[in-house]
Amino acid sequence: MRKLLNASSWLFAVCAVFAMQTAFAADATPAWHADLTEVRQMAGMIPGPRPLRVNVIKVAESRRTKNFAVKGLPAEPSVQARTAYQIVYADGTVMVDTGMDLDTHRFFGRGVEEPYFPEAQARVEKALQKAKAIIVTHEHGDHVGGLIRSGHFAELAPKAVLTRAQLDTLLNAPQIPELKPTTDVTSRLQIIDYNRYMAFAPGTVLIKAPGHTPGSQMVYVTLQSGKELLLAGDVAWHMDAVRLNRPKDAPWIKEPAELMTAELDWLNGLSRSENNLSIVISHDEEQRRAYIEQGVLGDGFE
């Protein structure tokens, strides 16, 4: 990881070459496409030991019926977890998503008081301070709010990496006005852009996946054990959406159907063909509990 942070110019040059190689394949697809073989190749492009594990923490919950998350399912009670992730290397960590403060959490409740765990968010804040790098799956408040609205922002900004699309959304169409960064905030962030994939650290690859938001991306992680994880962000809100290949049905969500169909198709195919790969859905509380029990994810941060 130290090589990543001290050799960014080399990294961007490598990614640029690979982007040119993959751009030709992208031309043949109408909406969105990713190739796991190419992603696995990218995971080996930055030298160094791969991660040891991935940890998860839940900072809040939203109470939504399941039919909002998966079209056609019954309107039965369902818990949406609000989560953040910690990729653990031998010499440091990379944070994926940043939790959120209580005011941002209340926005998602739409007037209904929902569970919020301040002690968990405090652990996220400490983990952000200790991390070597911070990335977000997308620019919604429950994923980026713990960075943008942090009292330690000046300390976090030099290692916080946002994509150009994520920043553009925050500046021009933030989910809530409080997420819009000032000029001073913007100038401190590390802004990147890439075509389809980007090797970010040994064993860790960013996959551009616009749809849920313009700046959405997935994060592929391959561990030293050989196990693979795909942090899919909010492409789906529940793993049943991936298994059944069905979109969300929440009226407040406006997503480009063609992009979301392509991304769900890809995840559905992976779920059926890649036994070594664990697809991680950010808001699936049932999956979070199961993955902790199975040892796929570590429970809490270190």
**Residue 8 pLDDT level (bands cut at 50, 70, 90):** very low
| pLDDT tens, residue by residue, 108-163 | 988 789 999 999 999 999 999 999 999 999 999 999 999 999 999 999 999 999 99
Strand intervals (E) in the chain: 53-65, 77-89, 92-96, 133-135, 161-163, 190-192, 197-201, 204-208, 217-222, 228-231, 277-280, 298-299
User: What is the tally of helices (H) and strands (E) in the chain?
Assistant: 13, 12
pLDDT at 81: 98
* Tokens coding 203: 């064993």
User: Which of the 8 DSSP states describes residue 46?
Assistant: S
Strand duo 77-89 + 53-65: pairing: antiparallel
What is the C-alpha to C-alpha distance for residues 282 and 74, in angstroms, rounded to an integer?
A: 21
Percentage of residues of the chain with pLDDT beyond 70: 90
- pTM of the entire predicted model: 0.91
Q: Which helix (H) or strand (E) holds 107?
A: helix 102-109
Check whether 54 has a pLDDT greater than 50: yes
* 24 pLDDT higher than 70: no
Per DSSP (E only), the strands in 193-276 are: 197-201, 204-208, 217-222, 228-231
Task: Say what the pLDDT of residue 5 is.
Answer: 46
What pLDDT, on the 0 to 100 scale, is given for residue 25? 40
According to the model, what pLDDT value does residue 23 have?
41
Top CATH class, 2-299: alpha beta
What pLDDT sits at residue 31?
86
Structure confidence by residue, pLDDT tens digits, 89-113: 999 999 999 999 999 999 998 878 9
**Confidence (pLDDT) at 16:** 43
Q: How confident is the prediction for the chain on average, in pLDDT?
A: 92
pLDDT surpassing 90 at residue 44: yes
Domain boundaries defined on the chain:
2-299
